[in-house]
A and B are shown apart, each in its own frame.
Chain A
Amino acid sequence: MANEVCFRTLDLPNPASLETYRSIGGYETLKRIVTEKVPATEIINQVKISGLRGRGGAGFPTGLKWSFMPRYYDGEKYLVCNSDEGEPGTFKDRDIIRYNPHQVIEGMAIAAYTMGVRTGYNYIHGEIWAEYQIFERALEEARAAGFLGENLFGTNFSFNLFAHHGYGAYICGEETALIESIEGKKGQPRFKPPFPASYGVFGKPTNVNNTESYASIPYIMQHGGQAFQDLGVPNSGGTKIFSVSGHVEKPGNFEIGMGTPFPDLLALAGGVWKGRKLKAVIPGGSSTAVVPADMMMQCTMDYDSISKVGKSSLGAGSVIVMDESTDMVKALSRLSYFYYEESCGQCTPCREGTGWLWRVVRRIAEGKGRPEDLELLTDVSNNISGRTICALGDAAATPVISFIKHFRPEFEYYIEHGRSMLAA
């Protein structure tokens, strides 16, 4: 029971080609919807039934989001696919584009039809050039085959989709920074409200979804929302791609049903490497709280369990596995450096705070920690959290808070002895 939705073409020869995609019924759903003029309300309803939640990390119900788009707005509207995954631990959208770009295109076309949009962009992460080229090729194929462009299937529905290659800034994965970037401006998040649904690309109503979310749509519309929901568990419908990295034997992407127990996922990835013991897991990408091994082994891979049992969040399903040899102080130092480098610098707490956090953690890792540092780190993290324009502030604060919360003795040992507990 794997690779049923976004990775449907994975085991077929030449999986990214239009031919392969059509061989599994690709674009038939779009054609049916467009030619039979399936009402938008019906589509949104199916997406709601499917239980699909935003796969980019926030987990906002996709059907609900679509219903926010002003349907009778007189003017241009935009559809945006967020393929700008840049957080440590994330690498699923890249594989979707690499192996099944047409499903993203079909999903976006269905979304465009539903929301009455004529123009779409897929914003692809700056560091993945080969995938960008694959997607451009897929667009060419789809245009030539009449699945993109003007008056599709002889109806008055038109949809033009363009790929937009980013420049490698993590912050451009934040949807409003991404919108600014599409507009040709510096990628900096906008203050919300207004949300993109009323003020998005070029100030027009815009719907932004993650690559995996769009890629799930053809399946939902082909098999019905309930079928998708049934692949997962209540409140976490469907399958999810989990990107397992770190100290495992077989790192990679695994598309499995929501609600799969974590030990099963770990087994799929070949278990902890070198026969070592599991120490901790970051379940949803580096911005989610770290979960100690014993708690993590109790979790199932769905929104509710990770949140209630793991006190963390599912995020984008980017599972970073850490074995017993991991130096948590150094790990945090590296994560903090990432946020320090990737803060956009627009608003004060994040611009000033991320550098402060990193410098203090680094100092501890260099053996120059001071007893008051842990309180300071927690305090500074709390002062960033919830006081910034976008969620990057919280993303930078969460690792610090959770690492200190769960592995405090390791930090205290560093401060007291000037070296790692593990080396002792």
Chain B
Amino acid sequence: MNDAVNIFLNNTFTTSDIKRRLILLKVFIYSKFFGSTFTSSDYDPADFSWLQSLGNGFFKQFTSTNATIILSKLEDELKQLPVLIVYVPFEMPETEFFRLGNWLKTNLGSNFIFETRIDPDLIGGTALSWKGIYKDLSLRETLLENRNQILESFKEFING
């Protein structure tokens, strides 16, 4: 099952991707084994491309008798994965999601998934929430940490 999770997460980075692709996978499997009228032309090209990327080895494990069980287990395991919440002060485009996801998988582990939330007060940088711990690494926090130094510099500037 871990292999299935790893394959599923290969190009999947965010919780919304997981939710969407789980539904997509279920539709694809059910149509294959339970005679759905869904054809390849009904899929979004990107989604279809992702399904193809899973490979034949991934789909071989599914049969008409275990498909529901495997999908259910896969869903459970995916739900149990810890999610890194990344707070950013701007709206991140889709391309950056892909880049950030790759960075996380390369640097922290292949099962790393994340989701972004917008917090304009951060000014720059990011704040992270991981396993219930919040860490602010933004410019706002840097300003607060260096508050006294900034005040001194400001006073020196004012006093000439």
The answer to whether A and B interact is no
The residues of A with any CB-CB pair to B shorter than 8 Å are none
Please give the residue numbers on chain B whose beta carbons come within 8 Å of chain A beta carbons, in ascending order.
none
